[in-house]
Structures are given as C-alpha cells and as structure tokens.
Amino acid sequence: MTNTDHMVNGFDMATLGSLEPELRSLVSRRAALLGPAYKLFYEHPVQFVRASGVHLYDAEGREYLDAYNNVPSVGHCHPHVVEAVSKQIATLNTHTRYAYEPLLDYAERLLSTFPAAISNVMFTCSGSEAVDLAVRVARFYTRGTGVIVTNNAYHGTTTAAAELSPSLGSGVALGRDVWAIDLPLAKLAVGSDVGHELASSVRSAIADMERHGVTFAAFIADSLLSSDGIFPHPKGFLGPIAKAVRDAGGLYIADEVQPGFARTGEAMWGFERHGVEPDLAVLGKPMGNGMPIAAIVARPELLEEFGAVSRYFNTFGGNSVSIAAANAVLDVINDEGLLENSRLVGEKLRTTVEEIAAEREDIVAVRGVGLYVAADVVSPRDGEPDADLASRIVNQLRERRVLISAVGRAGNTLKIRPPLTFSRDHVAQFGEALDDVVSAIR
Amino acid sequence: MTNTDHMVNGFDMATLGSLEPELRSLVSRRAALLGPAYKLFYEHPVQFVRASGVHLYDAEGREYLDAYNNVPSVGHCHPHVVEAVSKQIATLNTHTRYAYEPLLDYAERLLSTFPAAISNVMFTCSGSEAVDLAVRVARFYTRGTGVIVTNNAYHGTTTAAAELSPSLGSGVALGRDVWAIDLPLAKLAVGSDVGHELASSVRSAIADMERHGVTFAAFIADSLLSSDGIFPHPKGFLGPIAKAVRDAGGLYIADEVQPGFARTGEAMWGFERHGVEPDLAVLGKPMGNGMPIAAIVARPELLEEFGAVSRYFNTFGGNSVSIAAANAVLDVINDEGLLENSRLVGEKLRTTVEEIAAEREDIVAVRGVGLYVAADVVSPRDGEPDADLASRIVNQLRERRVLISAVGRAGNTLKIRPPLTFSRDHVAQFGEALDDVVSAIR
C-alpha cells in the first residue's frame, strides 16, 4: 500500500539530494530521529532561530515575512504574552484539581464572547483533543455515533479526530460512522449561496446513515471550511445546515480552531458570521499564541450527564501558564484592536491579491475575510486546478522570504493567513513579492 | 443513569455548604463555568497562588509540603526550567514543519536513554495524545484492533484512551475491542512473583478476543501499575507478559507517563526494571516539568508504513518552548543526580512509612520504588480495604498542609509521590505529619 495523496506543500524526501549540505544533513538527521510521518514545509525547507511580530529569522539573520502562521496570532513573541508566561512559570504552574481563581476569571472572560446559552468551557491542550472531546460529548448526549464532515475536512490527529479528517488522505481511514459530504467547490469559490444545497446534502447523509442503522450524533465543520479550500462567503450559508442538523436531533459543532479569536475581522467567532448558534464549539491554535491550550465550549445541558458519570481531567489542560498566555492573548486582541485590524488590513490584503489576479488568467476566485485570503490557481487553457503552479508560487515566495502555503482538495488554493498584527506596509511588501513571483512565472 | 464509581479523593459538591464562604463561592463559580466533569481534590479543596521546589503556598502565604505532584518532577518553578522557558518564549516558539535543530538535539538526547532498537520519537502535547497515537500505530501495524489493559488502568482522556481506562468508572464504556485482565492484588501488594499468572491471564484474553473475531494488536500497561494500586515488586514480573504478547504477534506498549524520567530511582524507565524491551513506550507528565509535552518512542519499523501513508502533525507537539523545557528537565535530572536522589530518599520515605505502619494494623503492604510509595489502608477487624479511613488520612494530612492522595481499585491505597527533589528533611517532616495524623485516628 502506498499513498497517492501528497501533503500540499510538503517537502519530498526524494529530493533530499538537491539541498545544500548543511540543510541536507539536518533533514536526514530529522528523518532518522522522528520517522517518516513528520513532513517539512517547502521544496527548500526553512530553518528559523528567532521571530518577532510578523517576522521570522534564519541562522544567517535573514528576515522572512510571515503571511502564513495563525498560531502566533498576536505576533511572534509578543512582549505581553512573553511577560505573562515568564511571570507565571516562575510563580506557579499547576493543574485544575486545585481551586485557582485566574482559571475562572479567564473562563468567564472567554465565555462572555459567546452567545449566552453557551456557558460552559472545558480545557484541553490541543485542538485535536478538543475535537475529540466535543465529539465524545455529542455521542454521549445523543446516544448516536454518526458524524457528518465536509469531504476535505481536517479536524485533528487523535484516533477519533483523524477518523473525521478526509484531508489526511486515503492512508487514514474515515470512521465507519463518519459520512463526508461533497461541497459545490466552484460555487463556493465565487460566493454563491449554497446553503440549501448543503443542507440537502446533510439531510441525505443523515438518511443514509440511519438506513445503515447508525444514529446521527453531530455535524462538525470549520466555520471557514479552511482545509476544503477556504470559503467565507456568502455570510449565512451554514445556517440551513444547522437547521437540518437540529431537525434530525443532532448537534452542530463549530470547529473554530482556525476562524476563532478574531481571525475573520468581522466577529470573534466564525459561526457568528453565519447566524449559527452551535451546540458546541472547538477552540485551539491561536488561543495561547503558541502555548498549548485549546477548549470546548458548550451549552451546559450537554455536559450535565456526561460530567456526572465521567469525570474529565487533562493534566496540562488549563494549566496556570497556558491560562496566563491565553488571558494575555485576549488582552492583546482588545488593546491592539486586532479584530478591526484584521478586517481593515485583511480587506487591503484581499484587494491587493485581486489586483494582481485581475492581470492574469491563472489566479482566480480571490476570496477572503479578515486576514485569511485565498485564491485558486488554474490552468489558463481549461480553467482546471493547477496544483503544480500553486506550488511554484508558494515555493518561489519562500525563496523571496515570504511565507504562505496552499490548501484544498486539489491543492491549488493559495492560503494567505498572516498574524493578526499584519499592517498595510506588510501587505504592500507581500503584494510586491507576489507580483514579482507571478510576473516571473508568466 | 448515575455513576456509583466515585473519584478517589474527589471533592463532593454535595458538601459545598461545609466550606468557608470565600472558597464556597469560588467552588460554585467553578462548577457554573466548567461544568460537572471537573473535580477538585480533597474534602476541603486547596487553592494555591505560588510554588517553589517541593512547596506550594496558598493566598494567606501558608506553606504546603508537596508529597503528591509528579508533574513538577524536578521541583515547582525550578529556576533552570523557568529560565529555559522564559528565554525560549522571547526568542521563538514554532512548530515542527520548519527545520529546527534543538528539536533534533533533544530527540537524540532522549532516545539515548532507551534501548538501541527504540530509535524514533514522535511528540504530542499530552500523555493521552501519546497513548492514543501509540495504540493507533499498533493497530495500523498489526492490522488488529484488540487491546489488553489491566482492570483498573488509566491511560488517558481522548476517546480511544478513555476506552482503555477502566479506572474512569462504569460511566465510561470500555472499547468493544478492549479486554481488561484481573490482577492478583493481594499477591502484588506483598511483592509475590505473579509474572506467570499474569502472562496466563494475557494468553486467555488473547484467546477470548480471537474467539470473538477480534485480532490482537497490543498490550498496554503502566510499568508501575499506578492506578491499579502501585505495584513495583518484584522486578521482572512484567517480563512473562511481554513474551506472551510477542508470541501472539502483538505489541507491548509501556506506559511510562508515571514511571518514566527517573521516578523509580532505579532506572530512567519503568520497563527497564522488568527486563522488558517494549515495542512502543509512552512518555508524559514530568517530561517538561508542567509544560505540555509528551511523546511516543518506537522501533522505527513500526512507524515505517504508518508514516508513509499517514502524515502526523501536532500543532503544539514539540513546539520550541516545550522542547526547551524538556531539555532543561533532562539537565536537572542529570545535574542534580535526581535518579540517585529518588532511590536514596525514596528508600528513606518507604522505611519511614513502614515504621509507622509497623505500629498499627490498619496500614499494611507498604511498598514502593524511588519516590513513589504506597500502602494499603484496611480494617483491622477483617483486613478488608478501608477507603474511608484512607480518605481520612489523606484529608487530615491536607489539613496539616501535607499533600498526598489515594488510588487503587478499592480506593484504599495511599499514594505518596513527591517531586524528585524531595530531601531527607522533607521525609522527616512528612513522617512526623503522617504519624500525628494516624495516631490521632487510632
């Protein structure tokens, strides 16, 4: 058995010989120690030794513009987060089985950003653990097991989360009780309202699973459909799905690992843009600006019986240091107006990419919301997805020390997703680099 | 449905009214925000605001002797770890898809403490994620699903790990392909060699699962059987199990989350004491002294096909800051001779508890290895487990500001497991407190 599904923008070990000697030796050593499951980004992997704001630096002191990383969402090594972590780790770092007021202060502050009905939070270390817990809770509550996902979804890496992640490729089996629905990608890419079409697919999937004796438990989707190709428009298209899910007695789980914490510039959470009130939401990546912390939030009635019969303890989940980091992240989002920055600078970023795309036939369907912009790379001949060309753009930007990646079922979608502190000047630099790269390709 | 399996040493919300007003309000607020799955330790929960070495401090500045926490294994807020984390978080905190030499240096250093055949490591955030990944790898490699655990095992909190954790109680279903073997507790408690008896139970479980059409994949156990009641003796009793597992074509997974990183004082890893060479081992809790980091280590052939067809990426797994913490932990273990300290001070701790037990009929079967000491609390009338008395001892020690807990299938096993920097003076303080508490009970 071999896998034909390549990771988008993954380094291919078969090209090891093309690397300069020092990097080649590092990459070989890495493969020997970590094994073959670990992939590097880029044809020419990068090695960083320090970072600050929206910049990363390699060992030679060369500066890279980060238009990709959404974990250090308030900027790499943000001084306020650094100070909060450094202070806390020197003071106390313990778990949730001792009473600890800052944990509750943070919980309250976080929950205040959700609809009132969502008033419980449980902390984990990773988005994968949070997805796993959310689905575990949903299955317990509904007494069902069937879960519906989108057909290039990524929800994580635990056994249960990987079974919900078709984007991992054919080598990772979907769960027997997981149904993946097709998406009308072409319509989504240009922002057609496909809400009723999607709801109809969900209803069909529910009928099919019930026909197979599987009881429906939940629908889960990233509120920006990130790994499917990043589809933010039109606002509201997820609403009909939520209704179809509720009509069938299932739960709607919003995966906010990517859209959450102000990424969209329009709302703190991606589901808000769709007028959806999820039953459960999953938070992760940017929550602690790189410190491991993630969570589920839920309507309390969903946790009532689950909590009564199954205690939950996650040794590092909600530890004092991660809570300090997460609290500092909320400070920075507020103090630096990052929701608004994401909206305004994101708009500039999108129009910049649109202007470049307007001159060409191979970059189409530019779309985005906040500092999350995507565009499809296609063959000008027939309009078909051109993953190779997308890869060339990503890799030539990397040679110009500008970091982005690609995503989507066909691997041809450029993914531009900088820290939320990206400025108009950074957009201008990015636009110049992208223009140069694609002009040279023409 | 209600759960009759109480958490050992968990605070009972029904007794909320007995708490002083400020704590009562904090505990109520906690329940409202975090939901019912979150439990607190002790009848009278503790609230800490700072910690240092083997001490924790509450808001009034009162000092507590920590004879329980194994996560801050090199001591709370150890300055070397604090410095490593503070420096790293101000410099760079990123993921494993960029080449990063310190990750490899740490991987190499960690792997050098394992048998030569175990030469790959994969990083996760939590022990739960590591157990989940180890079992996922084992199932992929063997094409089986059946897993054998001990009958009060705890292996974690993801869906797949919870299915391997009978100690979570009857509210959490074991997996359909999970077999839990009984342990001869009375014999284990006094260090009888039960290796062949255990191997026979494992062989019966394998036969039973195959009879049900389930293919055997792996056996997993904590190398100290911690949640089963802490059974370190005699050395070698896990050896016959490993042989039975291999004979049946399965893999032996050593859960080293508790025994690992020098806890036993006799070896870096618990399996070494048993002459077992595991196929996979799972590391966690003390690995980063509280910073979220965990790992699996494996023979590379087990990862070969898994890695080729299923990439693995854990956003925070092996992040730069957690790696810096983990590296600092190895420094401290070496520089402060904590393996030897655990052995020598652990011996003193065990003999101290033995001396107290020798005067009484209700504390029996004192056992331990390194700084991990256990004793069973029984009724002097009939020798039956007395969980209530164990709980009184734990809670009265807490009122004397000494922290331990209880564990085991009957909940009557005292669990004494301080940071590895515990000194003879701390043992003396602990012994005095324990003596006072049990004398008052007599």
Choosing from A294, A318, A335, the residue where a domain stops is: A335
In percent, the amount of chain B with pLDDT more than 70 equals 99
The total number of structural domains in chain A stands at 2
Q: What is the pLDDT of residue A5?
A: 60
A31 located within any domain:
no
Instruction: Please tell me whether residues A317 and A241 are part of one structural domain.
Output: yes
Classify residue B39: in a domain, yes or no.
no
A200 touches chain B (CB under 8 A): no
Give the lowest-confidence range in A126-130, A306-310, A339-343, B365-369: A306-310
Determine whether the interchain pair A86/B86 forms a contact, defined as Cβ–Cβ distance below 8 Å: yes
For A97-126, write each residue's pLDDT tens digit. 999 999 999 999 999 999 999 999 999 999
pLDDT at residue B6 tops 80: no
Question: Domain end: B335, B363, B385, which one?
Answer: B335
Based on the number of CB atoms within 10 Å of its own CB, is A116 exposed (0-12), middle (13-18) or buried (19 or more)?
Answer: exposed
Neighbours of B388 (CB within 10 A): 12
Answer whether B303 sits within 8 Å of A101, measured CB to CB. Answer: no
Q: Which of residues 153-192 of B touch A (CB under 8 A)?
A: 157-160, 162, 168-172
Task: Answer whether 0.90 is exceeded by the pTM.
Answer: yes
Residue A267: domain span: 79-335
Render pLDDT for B20-64 as a digit per residue (tens, 0 to 9).
999 999 999 999 999 999 999 999 999 999 999 999 999 999 999
* A442: confidence class by pLDDT, cuts 50, 70, 90: low
For residues B177 and B313, membership in a common domain is answered with yes
Residue A275 predicted with pLDDT over 70? yes
Cβ separation of A39 and B97 shorter than 8 Å? Answer: yes
B123-147 tens-digit pLDDT: 999 999 999 999 999 999 999 999 9
Inter-chain CB proximity B89 and A86 less than 8 Å = yes
Same-domain pairing of A185 and A227: yes
Are B214 and B148 in the same domain? yes
Q: Does the residue B33 lie in any domain?
A: no
Q: What's the confidence (pLDDT) of residue A1?
A: 31
Asked whether residue B69 falls in the same domain as residue B157, the answer is no
- Residue A234 CA, chain-centre distance (Å), reads 19
For residues A330 and A349, state if they share a domain: no
Domain co-membership, A241 together with A299? yes
Please list every residue in chain A whose beta carbon sits closer than 8 Å to the beta carbon of residue B317. 126
Q: Last residue of some domain: B285, B309, B335? A: B335
Chain A contact present for B111, CB below 8 A: yes
Contacts of B255 in chain A (CB under 8 A): none
Contact B135 A159 (CB under 8 A): yes
On whether both A115 and A133 belong to a single domain, the answer is: yes
> Do both A309 and A406 map to the same domain?
no
Average pLDDT on B351-367 reads 97
B214 and B348 co-located in one domain = no
The structure tokens listed for B48 are 């800490």
Q: Kindly state whether residues B65 and B92 are assigned to the same domain.
A: no
Q: Are residues A265 and A369 in the same domain?
A: no
Instruction: Determine, yes or no, domain membership for A101.
Output: yes
Give a yes or no: residue B257 inside a domain.
yes
Confidence at residue A3, expressed as pLDDT on a 0 to 100 scale: 36
The three-state (H, E, C) secondary structure of chain A, written as one string: CCCCCCCCCECCHHHHHHCCHHHHHHHHHHHHHHCCCCCCECCCCCEEEEEEECEEEECCCCEEEECCCCCCCCCECCHHHHHHHHHHHCCCCCCCCCECHHHHHHHHHHHCCCCCCCCEEEEECCHHHHHHHHHHHHHHHHCCCEEEEECCCCCCCCHHHHCCCHHHCCCCCCCCCEEEECCCHHHHHCCCCCHHHHHHHHHHHHHHHHHCCCCEEEEEEECCCCCCCCCCCCCCCCHHHHHHHHHCCCEEEEECCCCCCCCCCCCCCHHHHHCCCCCEEEECHHHHECECCEEEEECHHHHHHHHHHCCCCCCCCCCHHHHHHHHHHHHHHHHCCHHHHHHHHHHHHHHHHHHHHHCCCCEEEEEECCCCEEEEEECCCCCCECHHHHHHHHHHHHHCCEECEEECCCCCEEEECCCCCCCHHHHHHHHHHHHHHHHHHC
Q: Which residue in B45, B64, B48 sits closest to B426, CA to CA? A: B64
In a domain, A436, yes or no: yes
Which CATH number goes with the domain that contains B217?
Answer: 3.40.640.10
CATH number of the domain bearing residue A432: 3.90.1150.10
Residue B327 lies in a domain: yes
Q: Is B351 on the interface with A (CB under 8 A)?
A: no
- Asked if the structure places residue B185 within a domain, the reply is yes
pLDDT at residue A7 in the model: 85
